[in-house]
Amino acid sequence: MLDLKLHFDSRDLDKQPLSESELDKLIGTRDYKNFLNTRNDLYRERNMAEKSPTRPEAIKLMSETPNLIRRPLLVRGSQIIIGFDEAAYRILALRSKP
């Protein structure tokens, strides 16, 4: 993202976890399962691929265990890019140019 000269504010979710209300607002009407980090130990231990938590359970778990949130999260207005997606970053950078 830095190579693309995107300007952004950073938040270390380990030091400043998202609250349940922040997560609920961030996820909005999107599929909350896309925000779950499938590489996380808790995700695997609870076999979330086979038995997904409910939305409220997932939000609570993500607020308590920030590493359960898929990263990076890039938020620009109502647009959210979840996980590393260089193509999406490039499109965002092009749209950001004056």
pLDDT at 1: 46
Is 73 among the domain residues?
yes
Q: What is the 3-state secondary structure (H, E, C) of the chain?
A: CCCCCCCCCCCCCCCCCCCHHHHHHHHCCCCHHHHECCCCHHHHHCCCCCCCCCHHHHHHHHHHCHHHECCCEEEECCEEEECCCHHHHHHHHHHHCC
Domain limits for position 82: 20-96
Is 14 among the domain residues?
no
Is 85 among the domain residues?
yes
Number of domains in the chain: 1
Say whether pLDDT at 7 is over 50: yes
For range 29-47, the mean pLDDT: 97
Q: What is the pTM of this model?
A: 0.83
Structure tokens belonging to residue 26: 């961030």
Is 47 among the domain residues?
yes
For range 34-44, the mean pLDDT: 97
